[in-house]
A and B are shown apart, each in its own frame.
Chain A
Amino acid sequence: MNHDDHAVRAEHAEGLALADRRVLVRRWRTMGIAMAVHESDICIIGGGITSAMLAEKLSELRPGASITVVEAGRSIFDAQNRGRYRERAMAYGEHPWPDDYIEDQQADGIISMTMAVGGLALHWGGACNRFSEEDLRLKVALRPRCRLAD
């Protein structure tokens, strides 16, 4: 299944009642399409430090609400090997946070990248970057669906 198919199916499911959604998911399964379903009251896209704080605040404001945080990257904090990663970074210039990216998911603009649980908080070095052009473009693109900011 490619990304377009996935998006179409997700959009299709979004407009259906819960019972219909379950029927739809069963039908996909019979078609051999494996798709895990996680239902929650709130879904936060991205598992960086901001989403962690947002999830905490929401859990305080809505104690009964279920919250799901979705992160495309991995959980990379590897405490046992931190020393070795640091040594490789100093000696060879290698990335001290291996696997904090996905090859084709790098943003445009003057920003830094970290696609992993923890996000840029993993790299925090006392710098705040301006929003990139891509950040602003995404905001415009997502506004019709974005209810959280309203």
Chain B
Amino acid sequence: MAEQGPHAVVDKFVAWTRGYREGVAMTHGYGHPRLQKTGASPVPGYGLQLAALDAAARAKGARWSALDQETRRALLDAAFTAAGVRNLPPRPMGQHVVADLMAFYFRSSEANDDCYRALINREVCRPIEVTIRSRRQLA
């Protein structure tokens, strides 16, 4: 999150949670004839999950931000195991707030650009007249 900074990502994640709608028909690809709808909002569980992380940090003798990275990682591993998180979720789904934040960021177009250190703008629509220009003109 070097380019944007973690606070900017968190702000976008919070905005995402505010825009979440329950019971809306979800996108489907070919071969998926049954309609699926968005589930319950993942937000209600976040408060308890954050409180549990804070309690686990205090049990180690310090606030979360004061713990060293290895200790924080161990606490998160334990929290993920307890929540049944085994992979990065396809999108925030409520299993754990940290996994959801990671999914929100790492699956974004911005993270893709950060990863490649290039302005790819994977999910940005560009008009045809832009895409057919030569690279020199685009630069």
Partners in one complex: yes
Is B33 within 8 A of A111, CB to CB? yes
B30 in contact (CB, < 8 A): yes
Interface 9-mer from B17-25, B44-52, B68-76: B17-25
A110 within 8 A of B: yes
Are A112 and B28 in contact, with the CB atoms below 8 A?
A: yes
The size bracket of the interface on A is 20 to 34
Contact B25 A125 (CB under 8 A): no
Question: Does B33 contact A109, Cβ atoms closer than 8 Å?
Answer: yes
- Contact flag A108-B26 (CB < 8 Å), given A91-B19, A92-B91, A93-B38: no
Contact of A95 among B19, B24, B34 (CB under 8 A): B24
Given contacts A101-B25, A101-B35, A106-B35, contact A92 B20 (CB under 8 A): yes
Q: Which residues of B contact A108 (CB under 8 A)?
A: 33
B136 contacts chain A at the CB level, 8 A cutoff: no
Please name the 5 residue pairs, one residue from A and one from B, whose CB atoms are nearest each other, closest first: A95-B25, A112-B30, A127-B30, A110-B31, A95-B27
Interface 1/0 per residue, A103-132 and B, CB below 8 Å: 100111111110000000001010101001
Which of B19, B20, B27, B125 has the most C-beta atoms of chain A within 10 angstroms of its own C-beta? B27
Are A94 and B30 also in contact (CB < 8 A) when A86-B125, A101-B35 are? Answer: no
Q: Please tell me if A72 contacts chain B, counting CB pairs below 8 Å.
A: no
Nearest Cβ on chain A to B82's Cβ, whole angstroms: 26
Check B33–A110 contact: CB distance below 8 A: yes
Interface residues of A (CB under 8 A from B): 83, 86, 89-96, 98, 101, 103, 106-113, 123, 125, 127, 129, 132
Measured CB to CB, the closest approach of chain B to A105, in angstroms, equals: 10
Decide if B31 touches A106 in the complex (CB within 8 Å).
Answer: no
Given contacts A101-B35, A106-B34, are A92 and B28 in contact (CB under 8 A)? no
* Contact residues in B for A107 (Cβ distance below 8 Å): 33
Q: Which residues of chain A are within 8 angstroms of B90 by Cβ–Cβ distance?
A: 93
Q: A129 to B31, Cβ gap below 8 A?
A: yes
Of A92, A96, A103, A110, most buried by chain B (CB within 10 Å of CB) is A92
